[in-house]
Amino acid sequence: MSIKTIILAAGQGTRMRSSKPKVLHKIADRALLHHVYDTSQQLDNNDIIIIYGHGGELVKQELNQLDANWVEQKQQLGTGHAVQQAVNFIDDDDKVLILYGDVPLLKKSSIDELLENVSSQSIGLLTVNLDNPTGYGRIVRSDGGEVQKIVEEKDASVAEKLIDEGNTGIIATLGYLLKNWLSSLQNSNAQNEFYLTDIIEMAVNEGIEVKTNQPQSQDEVLGVNDRKQLAYLERVYQLEQTEKMMEQGVSLRDPTRVDVRGTFQHLGQDVEVDINVLFEGCNSIGNNVKIGANSIVKNAVIADDVEILAHCIIEDAVIGAGCRIGPFARLRPQAELASEVHIGNFVEIKKSTVGTGSKINHLSYIGDASIGSKVNIGAGTITCNYDGVNKFKTVIEDDVFIGSDTQLIAPVTVGKGATIGAGSTITKDTPEQKLTLSRSKQTSITAWQRPKKR
């Protein structure tokens, strides 16, 4: 039996006060709709149908990499009408699961339970007991506790409004039942909409049982209608991420001050993360890695025993075992450090390899360079890699010592074991093992006098 998941994402989201469709707003850098898609992707044997509408072209454009069928709902005539748009994709014996594109944190475990309640004799409905159910459809039960119907807030009587069990909107049922019910929906209600929720009463009238389950936490079924709710769910999501990290053996000085906008391909044990650290993209982090306060780590591969001091920005870089980075260092894309490398403050490295045990400790720009092992690069050294049009490579071989404030005009090679005198501008390749310097002679002008103020 296959599953068809219909994700409703055509609503306008007026309360976001945004030019962008609501489902494109993001939690942890991922569109709300993308979160829902990811969760439904975890189900086996599942086809996904996304109902889009308001600003829909933009939604499709931004998320066109998703493996889903896109169906347009031209006019937003209600949740029932939205599901009707997908009938051509529904086979009679499918299990149909209906999710909302603006309810991003629903868990697979809740869906699994819901789907277990689906048969020819019963449908599954996810409900939630709420402290404040205002705005939700209410679950009306018989004296015996069986679900009778769902009544929308705007259609509810005073007594029905007192019910605190709310409809999450998340429903699962067999295809042929759903298609039957959809074809007889009416819009004679307070909002003149075709309510999906009306299928509950239809089911009951046909003797089909409505089995309910509840999520583990209310947060799972909260929808995003405005930016306050978006920010709230971002925090819920972030706490889930940091909890997972701690469960895996990571120490976080303050789990409320670490954000994860992406994934970990690998996360070692005894990693220590200080406050205000942001992880982005896909990171791989080894054992015993320390990350200092206020650092951003994006798409990095970090080996064991690396220490990143405070205020570093690491992006698309590879850091070998035992390296020490920062404080205030910037590793840009394609910076590749072998093991035991030291990168100090105000050093920027781009598209360069640095060999084992080399040190670049202060105020340098290293771009398009290949640096050997045991090299020492003095303070203020710059690879001049760019002539305004083309980029050129600097090669620094093993055991080189570059004196402070050297400019290396690429393309240029500094031979193995060479020493470059401080303050040099190196325009030609330099020989191995020799001292090379380019420096004008120092003179003192004895007759000179400092001008005096009158």
Please give the positions annotated as active site.
362
Binds ligand UD1 by CB under 6 A, chosen from 4, 5, 6, 8:
8
For residues 171 and 137, the answer to whether their CB atoms sit within 8 Å is no
Task: Give the footprint of ligand UD1 on residues 50-89 (CB under 6 A).
Answer: 51, 53, 73, 76-79, 81-82
To the nearest whole angstrom, how small is the minimum distance from the Cβ of residue 125 to Ca ion?
17
Which contiguous run of DSSP H or E holds residue 201? helix 198-205
Please give the C-alpha separations between residue 264 and each of 134, 273, 297, 298, 336, in angstroms, as whole numbers. Answer: 39, 14, 11, 10, 19
Judged by beta carbon, residue 230 or residue 252, the one nearer Ca ion is 230
Judged by beta carbon, residue 100 or residue 181, the one nearer ligand UD1 is 100
223 touches Ca ion by CB under 5 A: yes
355 touches ligand UD1 by CB under 6 A: no
For residues 349 and 361, the answer to whether their CB atoms sit within 8 Å is no
Amino acid at 14: T
Judged by beta carbon, residue 168 or residue 212, the one nearer Ca ion is 168
H helices of 42-87, in order, are 56-62, 79-84
215 touches ligand UD1 by CB under 6 A: no
For residues 306 and 322, the answer to whether their CB atoms sit within 8 Å is yes
Q: At what angle do helices 32-41 and 108-116 cross, to 10 degrees?
A: 50
Q: How many residues are recorded in the chain?
A: 454
196 touches ligand UD1 by CB under 6 A: yes
To the nearest whole angstrom, how small is the minimum distance from the Cβ of residue 59 to Ca ion?
17
What is the spatial distance between Cα 47 and Cα 100, in angstroms, rounded to a whole number? 15
286 touches Ca ion by CB under 5 A: no
Size of the site for ligand UD1 (CB under 6 A): 28
Q: Work out whether the CA dihedral 82, 86, 90, 94 comes out positive or negative.
A: negative
Judged by beta carbon, residue 80 or residue 320, the one nearer Ca ion is 80
- Partner whose footprint covers residue 11, from ligand UD1, Ca ion, none (CB < 5 to 8 Å by kind): ligand UD1
Judged by beta carbon, residue 94 or residue 102, the one nearer ligand UD1 is 102
Q: Work out whether the CA dihedral 430, 431, 434, 440 comes out positive or negative.
A: negative
H helices of 308-372, in order, are none
Binds ligand UD1 by CB under 6 A, chosen from 5, 197, 381, 385:
197
Listed residue (108, 78, 88, 130) closest to 4, CA to CA: 88
**Where do we find the tokens 């020492």?**
376
To the nearest whole angstrom, how small is the minimum distance from the Cβ of residue 8 to ligand UD1?
4
To the nearest whole angstrom, how small is the minimum distance from the Cβ of residue 186 to ligand UD1?
12
Pairing of strands 376-377, 359-362: parallel
| Interacting span for Ca ion (CB under 5 A) from 220-228, 245-253, 319-327, 373-381 | 220-228
Binds ligand UD1 by CB under 6 A, chosen from 166, 175, 326, 403:
166
| Residues making contact with Ca ion (CB under 5 A) | 223
Interface residues with ligand UD1 (CB under 6 A) are 8-11, 51, 53, 73, 76-79, 81-82, 100-102, 136-137, 150, 152, 166-169, 195-197, 223
